């Protein structure tokens, strides 16, 4: 009787559920590491709140021009403290991460400057900003020159990078911390630190920019702690703690943040305007919760990696590997399995569980993409979500989860949907 109840409530086979319990026993060491990082980052955030004397007054909303918004100014000071930077721009007027990143690029680069990516192709949506994909307003169309250096076996191609830095004298070097939708590994901050030091030894004045999407609070440090001059990310990913409904951030050197603020708003307006419309509280509370939410997402990623590996799929990273972002990729090797897995995630989502996702041509992406995103905040990938471009070898990119429990159950349901009858 008891057994039957358990099967009924989780909606997956008993064999699969039992397997999950055994797997969790093997993950204790990894989970402890995650807890330790979470504790550290929570303290970091708490200290910044205390230092900046966060108070109910900061939850007040501004409308119209949004002059003198005390909450907004305090949020930006807190971000500055957390990232250890001279300045910060944290705004709901950024429509997504791409917008924050592209604003940072336009702020730093002028005609004739060289932009050099040293982690291969940037995230898909940035290709149009740069002009790798045709767009008449791209950086390349505005006279910026672009150089790209591929990764070498998931590490920086140091020799090539240093050679090309000397040759092209780049104004800005772009580093993608997270793999995004590519098969490469994500680059952890110890490697980023090393390459930044070597580059700055060759050319001290180069601006180092890091795409920090999916990276916040995964390690104890951030790219700005290891020499990055400007970084950007999305508030509907890690740092919004699942509470932010929109927005993005840029942190870094004052000079670049000021320019970025004038690209976001208008020359002469900069940081002074931008109504917060009652969103300050969610930005603050989301930030407060973010280290914990990120830890939940990481535990789900590690669980997913381990169970799918044991079921015979190739996964990256493996459960025991060091992580620098919340993404878990799994090679499913078949379109049918991929679609079933993604549909299984959707079925186990809190919102739109009755909807079955199909592949579609998403703006900014070059292949058809299938996505499961039954999220409270539309498209928020700090909540459990899974994306997959429909192309060989049929890789699912899985990320997020606001609680370990809901994430684990959803992964089991997705596996059950994919392998129905087999386990
Ligand atoms: C999510 C993400 C972005 C920005 O994407 P948006 O969907 O515009 O927020 C950029 N780079 C990476 C690596 C990302 O994961």
pLDDT tens profile 91-144: 999 999 999 999 999 999 999 999 999 999 999 889 999 999 999 999 999 999
CB of residue 229 inside a 6 A radius of ligand 1: no
122 lines ligand 1 (CB under 6 A): no
pLDDT digits (tens, 9 = 90+) for 238-290: 999 999 999 999 999 999 999 999 999 999 999 999 999 999 999 999 999 99
**Distance between CA 219 and CA 311 in Å, rounded?**
29
Closest to 364 in 3D by CA, of 90, 95, 106: 95
Per residue in 344-365, is it b (16+ CB within 10 Å) or e — as a string? bbbbbbeeeeeeebebeebeeb
pLDDT in tens, 143-187: 999 999 999 988 999 999 999 999 999 999 999 999 877 778 899
What is the whole-number distance in angstroms between the Cα of residue 124 and the centre of ligand 1?
Answer: 8
Atom of ligand 1 nearest to the CA of 379: 7
Q: In the predicted model, what is the mean pLDDT of the chain?
A: 95
The pTM score is: 0.96
C-alpha 181 to ligand 1 mean position (Å):
10
Q: Is the CB–ligand 1 distance for residue 180 below 6 Å?
A: yes
Measured from the CB, is residue 387 less than 6 Å from ligand 1? no
Is the pLDDT reported for residue 7 higher than 60? Answer: no
- For the segment 292-320, what is each residue's pLDDT rounded down to a tens digit? 999 999 999 999 999 999 999 999 999 99
Residues 43-57: pLDDT tens digits? 999 999 999 999 999
Segment 215-240, tens digit of pLDDT: 999 999 999 999 999 999 999 999 99
Give 416 Cα–ligand 1 centroid separation in angstroms. Answer: 29
CB of residue 123 inside a 6 A radius of ligand 1: yes
**Ligand 1 center to residue 382 CA distance, Å?**
12
pLDDT value, residue 422:
75
Hey, what are 379's tokens? 């498209």
The answer to whether 232 touches 100, Cβ cutoff 8 Å, is yes
Report the DSSP beta bridge partners of residue 382.
none
pLDDT tens digits for range 359-377: 988 876 778 999 999 999 9
Q: Would you give the distance in Å from CA 316 to the centre of its chain?
A: 16
C-alpha span between 128 and 146 (Å, rounded): 13
CB of 178 within 6 A of ligand 1: the answer is: yes
Q: Is the CB of 238 under 6 A from ligand 1?
A: no
- Work out the percent of the chain whose per-residue pLDDT is above 70: 98
pLDDT confidence bin for 3, thresholds 50/70/90: low
Q: How many whole angstroms from 232 Cα to the centroid of ligand 1?
A: 10
């Amino acid at each position: 009787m008891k057994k039957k109840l358990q099967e009924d409530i989780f909606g997956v086979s008993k064999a699969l559920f039992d397997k999950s319990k055994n797997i969790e026993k093997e993950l204790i060491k990894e989970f402890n590491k995650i807890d330790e990082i979470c504790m550290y980052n929570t303290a970091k955030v708490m200290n910044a709140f205390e230092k900046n004397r966060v108070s109910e007054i900061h939850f007040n909303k501004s409308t119209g021009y949004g002059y003198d918004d005390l909450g907004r100014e305090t949020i930006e000071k807190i971000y500055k403290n957390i990232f250890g930077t001279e300045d910060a721009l944290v705004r709901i007027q950024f429509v997504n991460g791409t917008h924050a990143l592209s604003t940072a690029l336009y702020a730093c680069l002028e005609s004739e400057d060289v932009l050099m990516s040293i982690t291969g192709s940037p995230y898909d949506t940035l290709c149009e900003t740069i002009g790798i994909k045709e767009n008449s307003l791209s950086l390349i169309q505005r006279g910026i020159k672009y150089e790209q250096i591929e990764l070498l076996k998931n590490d920086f191609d140091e020799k090539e990078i240093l050679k090309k830095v000397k040759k092209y004298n780049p104004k800005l070097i772009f580093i993608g911390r997270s793999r995004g939708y590519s098969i490469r590994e994500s680059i952890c901050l110890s490697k980023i630190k090393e390459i930044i030091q070597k580059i700055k030894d060759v050319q001290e004045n180069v601006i180092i920019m890091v795409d920090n999407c999916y990276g916040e609070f995964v390690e104890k440090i951030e790219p700005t702690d290891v020499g990055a001059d400007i970084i950007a990310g999305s508030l509907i990913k890690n740092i919004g703690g699942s509470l932010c409904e929109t927005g993005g951030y840029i942190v870094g050197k004052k000079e670049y943040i000021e320019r970025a603020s004038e690209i976001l708003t208008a020359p002469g307006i900069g940081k002074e305007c931008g109504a917060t419309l009652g969103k300050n509280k969610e930005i603050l509370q989301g930030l407060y919760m973010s280290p914990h939410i990120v830890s939940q997402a990481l535990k789900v990623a590690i669980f997913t990696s381990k169970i799918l590996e044991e079921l015979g799929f190739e996964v990256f990273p493996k459960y025991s590997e060091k992580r620098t972002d919340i993404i878990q990729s799994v090679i499913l090797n078949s379109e049918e399995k991929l679609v079933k897995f993604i549909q299984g995630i959707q079925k186990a989502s809190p919102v739109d569980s009755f909807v079955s996702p199909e592949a579609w041509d998403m703006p900014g992406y070059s292949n058809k993409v299938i996505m499961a995103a039954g999220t409270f905040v539309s498209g928020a990938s700090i909540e459990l979500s899974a994306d997959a471009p429909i192309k060989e070898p049929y890789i699912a990119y899985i990320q997020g989860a606001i609680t370990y429990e809901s994430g684990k159950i959803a992964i089991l349901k997705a596996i059950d949907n994919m392998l129905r009858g087999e386990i």
